[in-house]
Amino acid sequence: MAHRIEVGLLPDIRDAHGEKTARRIREDLKIDVSGVRVLSVFTIDADLTPDELSGIAENLLVDPIIQQAGIDLPLAAADEFDFAVEVGYLPGVTDNVGRTAREGVSLIFPNRLSPGQKVYTSFQYLIRGPIDRSDAERIAMGLLGNPLIQRFVILDRNVFMAANGIAPWVPKVTGSHDRTVSEIDLSVADDELVRISREGVLALSLAEMKAIQEYIGLEAAGPDRDRTGLGSKMTDVELEVIAQTWSEHCKHKIFNALIDYEDENGNTERIESLFSTYIKGATETIRKAKGRQDFCLSVFKDNAGVISFNEDFNLVFKVETHNSPSALDPYGGALTGIVGVNRDPFGTGLGSRLIFNTDVFCFADPGFSGEIPPRLLHPKRVYEGVREGVEHGGNKSGIPTVNGSIVFDDRFLGKPLVYCGTGGIMPKTINGRPSHEKTARVGDLIVMTGGRIGKDGIHGATFSSEELHEGSPATAVQIGDPITQKRMTDMLLVARDRGLYSSITDNGAGGLSSSVGEMARDSGGCVLDLDRAPLKYEGLRPWEILLSEAQERMTLAVPPDRIDEFMDLARRMDVEATVLGEFTETGRFHVRFEGKTVAYLDMDFLHEKNPPMRLFARWRRPIHPEPDFAPPTDLNRELLAMLSRLNVASKESVVRQYDHEVQGTSVIKPLVGTGGIGPSDAAVIRPILDSEAGVVIGHGICPKYSDIDTYHMAANAVDEAVRNAVAVGGNVDYLAGLDNFCWCDPVTSEKTPDGDYKLAQLVRANRGLYDVTTAYGVPLISGKDSMKNDYQIGETKISIPPTILFSVMGKIEDINRAVTMDAKRPGDLVYVLGPTKYELGGSEYLASKGLVGNTVPVVDIDNNLRRYRALSAAIADGLAASVHDLSDAGLGTAAVETALAGDLGIEIDLGAVVRESVDRDDFLLFSESAGRFVVTVTPEKAGSFETIMAGTTFARVGRVTQDKRIVVRGLSGVVVIDLALDDVREAWLRPLMF
Amino acid sequence: MKKSVRAITISGNGTNCEIETAFAFKLAGAEVSDIVHISRIVAGDVRLDDYHILALAGGFLDGDDLGAAKAMANRVKFAHITGTGRRLLDEILGFVEAGKLIIGICNGFQLMVKIGLLPALGGTYGTQSVTITNNDSGRFEDRWVRLFIEPDCPSIFTRGIRHLTFPVRHGEGKFVAPPAVLSAIEAKHLVVARYADENYTPTMSYPLNPNGSLSSVAGICDQTGRLMALMPHPEGYLFRSQHPTWTRGNIPEEGMGLMVFKNAVTYVRENLIGGR
């Protein structure tokens, strides 16, 4: 029988977890509770003696100074609660704490637990207050757990006490060994093909199903298939492999589609492939132009992009999204997002050591008070869950989170965007081999390391290629395990340096099917024995083993003469490693189960023969009402209101919960300045502690401009990213970019009648991206697209605004030249670089008036580039005391942030600002023209600064002051803003301080 | 080689500050500063004996899944060195017995109290008497703090130091001790560092005291002063550019954390390997 050990704090010890839970019940759910006590519950699925149980409790589970245990007895006393809610995982959900507890039990009592006997954890919340059962249920489902992955027991005090607490419950997966391989007859009519795809969550189109139908027909007629024992029908394993390989997620079909684009004047143009034309095309053009200065080493072909850092090291960077899983379970989705993207640079080339994380989130307003459509979660819950998932994933992996942002728009209610990025560093050569290259060779063994395989994330690749709907599979929700992954990466870095493998890649979307399938392209085939794969539990069918997206796994190609050393190292370092087959040159993706062939697919068909999509795009320029409101009379109030806008307000509370300093490399932290509240524009780290060379990391994101023109959304995102990097001392000539597109479905269908417009938006965004990156010489080295960010249930459809996150990574020769955005000294002069134009379209300011407008900021690439180069030179010469980028809500908020970060006042004369067609103070303050900065310069250096900036547009507009006030003189010469620093700080810090 | 100062930083199972911690000993002048995976110690490939200073670095041992460092404390108590019958704990206790130095930082501090290396009142190593638990705020936080260093504490690591400023990066940093234990710790001056305000006066006010630690305790040592641990990260402030306001000027080239490691190296040189 199973036993329960409950662990709780001693009565006089403060329960921080309980207090926090009570606070969130009151604040987020508006349910009045007076207190919550939290107990940890360990259910041990083994028949142990009382002595053994108390040995486990005392040594492993209880901190004797502050905690007590109840062994098979409830700790809860009748007078301390009104409702008890217990939340535990459903069978098969990753239980990291349970795994750790089981390891501990096995150390105390070696061999006492048999392989199937596990420890399961849950939390018991003892809630005090005048609540009824429906309140308790709302607390349980609305805050404490998620029914997709968790199970709840909700008892009132009387029932709880009468039953003497909660009985042990073992969420064991009780499947039995399942070798079922079913065959699917594809010699059927078209509507039947469509049904097979839909019911199997295959996300294959009719054209694709027909291509597969034709393939299996030809195969069945050929000699090979018979020899393998397979018949004329396709196996479920084969069909699943094809569906995964051809999924939008893996194949980027929309980006590779043949597109006919029609502009607003009816002119048409044919685009062979957006990816080749604009993304790869940009990089090719830029690399050619850079010639000997080209720093790209590996672009678009590996898990992440690789550039040269210096003579000894290369840098690696990848950004991914994990939107759909985060919509269903924010914590697990985001945690899996960050530990998942970690494996991309880790599995790039021969493998890199991970040196930074970035995270950018797009959410709806956490204070959202409207009705939440079915299956969606409240934005506050999404916000907190995602934040915590990335916190646990990043912090526990020991990778500093150095850069990020949060963007708010209520359309992200339909799907939050969760961008996670990771950078790595690797020696230029490893055992004499260039580190950015790798090849799985014929005869190399297929080895899987790390976690085991369960039903986790099955159909993740195809699921994320669809909108969120009623039947979205719960198995797409996973919980990452950063410690299992850290153990594995610790071990694999040793293996890398000893030259124990020839190739490595991660298991992400599509699992083994994808990782082995991709690696097998090097050698020209593979044979994989699925029955050897280690499983978390029985009951997985062969195709499920192959497709499972269970986390924390890498696949390697290990030469036969190194396998013993590899396996020995893994065993010593407590990492599970299994040989699953070998790489061949048969031209076949050959999969066996217990010796019997279950898939035998032509590699060329699998990887090259998916029929290209043909799509139509039609651009119609949207016209929004122009703003015609009168200039506000009270600009103090306007400025305070802008500072409190969610897109402008301080993100300090989130940033502080991420370790941004681990590894000791931080140079420019995400929070800078006197009080540690200044939001830096970009990060600088020093990845090699005894070198002065630094890495700059920044990004740009501005989905709000998509309502006007995605061309400018993309152009501004690139410009913002470059501008941010330049603002901290980065060099525009040594920046590499990553494009991450998140779109709403751009394929016209019954569900998406405006697909042609959304596709036109995609085309235009690609053009914007191409034009600005090529002009600035910022090559794209990696990227990703997520094309189905829609929600549709019943009549409700929510599509996100088309969004590009443009991330940059570059180099700063000397970290001592880096600069921060905080005003440094009273008396320093304030400059605004770049002209301020009537470019309020899509701005925060118009949004605050409920308007969009039309005059979107237009990136002036030539003048901006000249300005960036001049500013870089000024920073390198030590002439700028502070530099801050102007973006959301323009000069007004940037100047305030500069002052706040330095805990100093600032005086600005709007009349001195260089302006074009702007004649209102509010527009001057809040226009979002691209390419601008606020720079403070100490008076002694003003001459040199102005000399170096000569030939660019800039003006001296004010000064930094000792008295802590924000003072702005308007165009008429009178003071239009005069606010105490304390008041602006309060307005800016408060909104997201929870 | 006989005269070289040898430091070992243990890695594995979720430790994640090993690189900068080992680097700190190098920078402080240790001739040898090795990062050794715990599995190599358990396998008997590497012996703690061969080193003078043991660093238990920051991180999330076993994810802090059962409470900070708790599962690792259990491992130290129950895992045996292959082929010897000796527990990991016995190796560490032998190291203490030999008069050598141990520094615990953050997760290393949590581990040291949970295996009873600190405060080890009366010299009883191996029995837990204090603990470190959840911050009062209920959240992990990364922020810089000021530390007042107790002048009368015997810690070798903080000799000659009056105050420090370091980053804290933890969710479980609140020092808790039963009243009698706390009085004994105070009476024996085993508190090394206290969270302090801008005047370096110990404080209980958040966020200057980031976690609500009793008596503002940020670090303690044993009675010999050879074992010491801090929640804040000295290896996080080895040079100027790590300081959060270095771009404002007036920050010296050498970070305050380096002094802590230099003190350890100097002690070894003068006491354990017979001078220079």
Which pair of tokens denotes residue A49? 């003696």
| Residue A365: DSSP 8-state | -
pLDDT of residue A476: 65
For residue A324, the SS3 value is helix
**Domain residue limits at B45:** 6-272
Q: Is the confidence at residue B260, as pLDDT, over 50?
A: yes
Give the mean pLDDT of B204-209: 97
Give the mean pLDDT of B156-164: 97
Answer whether residue A941 is part of any domain: yes
| Residue B47: DSSP 8-state | -
Q: How confident is the model at residue A229 (pLDDT cuts 50, 70, 90)?
A: confident
Answer whether residue A63 is part of any domain: yes
pLDDT digits (tens, 9 = 90+) for A480-503: 899 999 999 999 999 999 999 999
CB–CB contact A664 B236 (8 Å)? yes
Give the mean pLDDT of A632-660: 97
Q: Is the confidence at residue A463, as pLDDT, over 80?
A: no
Q: Do A205 and A143 reside in the same domain of the chain? A: no
pLDDT of residue A324: 87
Cα–Cα distance, A719 to A651 (Å, whole number): 22
**Domain residue limits at A135:** 3-162
CB–CB contact B78 A395 (8 Å)? no
Q: How confident is the model at residue B170 (pLDDT cuts 50, 70, 90)?
A: very high
On chain B, the residues whose CB falls within 8 A of the CB of A482 are: 14, 60, 63
- Among B62, B136, B248, the residue with its CB nearest the CB of A16 is B136
Give the mean pLDDT of A387-395: 95
Answer whether residue B37 is part of any domain: yes
CB–CB contact B136 A100 (8 Å)? no
A850: left (phi over 0), alpha (psi -120 to 50) or beta: left
Strands A353-363 and A401-408: parallel
CB–CB contact A822 B247 (8 Å)? yes
Task: Give the distance between the most distant pair of CA atoms in chain B.
Answer: 56
CB–CB contact B19 A663 (8 Å)? yes
Do A972 and A920 touch, CB atoms closer than 8 A? no
On chain B, the residues whose CB falls within 8 A of the CB of A686 are: 241
CB–CB contact A661 B142 (8 Å)? yes
Domain boundary among the residues A224, A249, A274 is at A249
pLDDT of residue A468: 60
Cα–Cα distance, A418 to A406 (Å, whole number): 10
Do A479 and A336 touch, CB atoms closer than 8 A? yes
The domain spanning residue A838 has which CATH number? Answer: 3.90.650.10
Q: Is the confidence at residue A288, as pLDDT, over 60?
A: yes
pLDDT digits (tens, 9 = 90+) for A69-80: 999 999 999 999
What ipTM describes this predicted complex?
0.97
Mean pLDDT (chain A) is: 95
On chain B, the residues whose CB falls within 8 A of the CB of A19 are: 138
Q: Do A193 and A141 reside in the same domain of the chain? A: no
pLDDT digits (tens, 9 = 90+) for A115-166: 889 999 999 999 999 999 999 999 999 999 999 889 999 999 999 999 999 9
Domain boundary among the residues A222, A249, A276 is at A249
Answer whether residue A230 is part of any domain: yes
A582 strand-pairing partners: A445, A527
Q: Is the confidence at residue B1, as pLDDT, over 50?
A: no
Cα–Cα distance, A28 to A23 (Å, whole number): 8
Answer whether residue A276 is part of any domain: no
Residue A110, number of CB atoms within 10 A of its CB: 10
Provide the domain count of chain B: 1
Catalytic residue numbers of B read 106, 233, 235
Cα–Cα distance, A156 to A127 (Å, whole number): 10
Closest CA to B193 of B243, B229, B168: B229
Q: Do A987 and A905 reside in the same domain of the chain? A: yes
User: Which chain B residue is nearest to residue A393, measuring alpha carbons?
Assistant: B63
Q: Based on the number of CB atoms within 10 Å of its own CB, is B253 exposed (0-12), middle (13-18) or buried (19 or more)?
A: exposed
Distance from CA of B3 to the nearest CA of A (A): 25
Question: What is the percent of chain A where pLDDT is above 70?
Answer: 98
Answer whether residue B242 is part of any domain: yes
pLDDT of residue B59: 97
Residue A681, number of CB atoms within 10 A of its CB: 31
Which positions ≥6 away from A820 have C-beta within 8 Å? A668, A672, A673, A678, A680, A728, A882, A901, B247, B248
Cα–Cα distance, A21 to B134 (Å, whole number): 14
Q: Do A147 and A192 reside in the same domain of the chain? A: no
Cα–Cα distance, A541 to A538 (Å, whole number): 9
Q: Do A189 and A141 reside in the same domain of the chain? A: no
Domain boundary among the residues A108, A131, A162 is at A162
- Among B140, B212, B247, the residue with its CB nearest the CB of A395 is B140
Provide the domain count of chain A: 3
Which pair of tokens denotes residue A139? 């607390």
Q: Do A155 and A12 reside in the same domain of the chain? A: yes
Give the mean pLDDT of A442-446: 97
Answer whether residue B213 is part of any domain: yes
What does chain B come to in residues?
Answer: 276
- Among B23, B37, B236, the residue with its CB nearest the CB of A573 is B37
Backbone angles phi, psi at A930, to 5 degrees: -75, 170
Q: Which one-letter amino acid corresponds to residue A516?
A: V
pLDDT of residue A267: 96
Answer whether residue B261 is part of any domain: yes
pLDDT of residue A480: 86
Size of interface A-B (CB pairs under 8 A): 180
Answer whether residue A69 is part of any domain: yes
Give the mean pLDDT of B168-194: 98
CB–CB contact B244 A659 (8 Å)? no
pLDDT of residue A173: 83
pLDDT of residue A985: 97
- Among B66, B139, B249, the residue with its CB nearest the CB of A100 is B66
Q: Is the confidence at residue B156, as pLDDT, over 70?
A: yes
Q: Do A830 and A877 reside in the same domain of the chain? A: yes
Do B105 and B229 touch, CB atoms closer than 8 A? yes
Do B6 and B52 touch, CB atoms closer than 8 A? yes
Answer whether residue B253 is part of any domain: yes
Q: Please report where in the chains the tokens 């669809």 appear, as a residue.
A: A466
The domain spanning residue B33 has which CATH number? Answer: 3.40.50.880
Mutant choice from A390, A486, A993 vs B, greatest count of B C-beta within 10 A: A486
Residue B194, number of CB atoms within 10 A of its CB: 24
Q: Do A122 and A235 reside in the same domain of the chain? A: no
Cα–Cα distance, A447 to A502 (Å, whole number): 11
Cα–Cα distance, B131 to B139 (Å, whole number): 18
Answer whether residue A86 is part of any domain: yes
Distance from CA of A662 to the nearest CA of B (A): 7
Distance from CA of B222 to the nearest CA of A (A): 18
CB–CB contact A60 B74 (8 Å)? yes
- Among A101, A657, A664, the residue with its CB nearest the CB of B20 is A664
CB–CB contact A398 B71 (8 Å)? no
On chain B, the residues whose CB falls within 8 A of the CB of A816 are: 241
Mutant choice from A60, A401, A828 vs B, greatest count of B C-beta within 10 A: A60
Answer whether residue A224 is part of any domain: yes
Answer whether residue A582 is part of any domain: no
Mutant choice from A5, A19, A395 vs B, greatest count of B C-beta within 10 A: A395
pLDDT of residue A398: 96
Answer whether residue B1 is part of any domain: no
pLDDT digits (tens, 9 = 90+) for A742-791: 999 999 998 899 999 999 999 999 999 999 999 999 999 999 999 989 99
The domain spanning residue A114 has which CATH number? Answer: 3.30.1280.10
| A residues 466-485 closer than 8 Å to B (CB) | 481-483
CB–CB contact B233 A661 (8 Å)? yes
Q: Do A992 and A884 reside in the same domain of the chain? A: yes
Closest CA to A521 of A465, A604, A420, A613: A604
Do A173 and A89 touch, CB atoms closer than 8 A? no
Q: Do A69 and A31 reside in the same domain of the chain? A: yes
Q: Is the confidence at residue A642, as pLDDT, over 60?
A: yes
Do A513 and A589 touch, CB atoms closer than 8 A? no
CB–CB contact A97 B136 (8 Å)? no
Strands B53-56 and B6-11: parallel
Q: Please report where in the chains the tokens 């001459």 appear, as a residue.
A: A943
Q: Do A72 and A131 reside in the same domain of the chain? A: yes
Q: How confident is the model at residue A249 (pLDDT cuts 50, 70, 90)?
A: confident
Mutant choice from B10, B115, B142 vs A, greatest count of A C-beta within 10 A: B142
Answer whether residue B70 is part of any domain: yes
User: Which chain A residue is nearest to residue B241, measuring alpha carbons?
Assistant: A667
pLDDT of residue A475: 66
Q: Do A108 and A193 reside in the same domain of the chain? A: no
CB–CB contact B129 A65 (8 Å)? yes
On chain B, the residues whose CB falls within 8 A of the CB of A424 are: none
CB–CB contact A60 B70 (8 Å)? yes
CA distances from A419 to A776, A888, B150 (A): 24, 20, 45
Question: What is the percent of chain B where pLDDT is above 90?
Answer: 96
Q: How confident is the model at residue A466 (pLDDT cuts 50, 70, 90)?
A: low
Closest CA to A746 of A610, A623, A617, A614: A617
Backbone angles phi, psi at A191, to 5 degrees: -65, -30
On chain B, the residues whose CB falls within 8 A of the CB of A398 are: 14-17, 59-60
Distance from CA of B220 to the nearest CA of A (A): 17
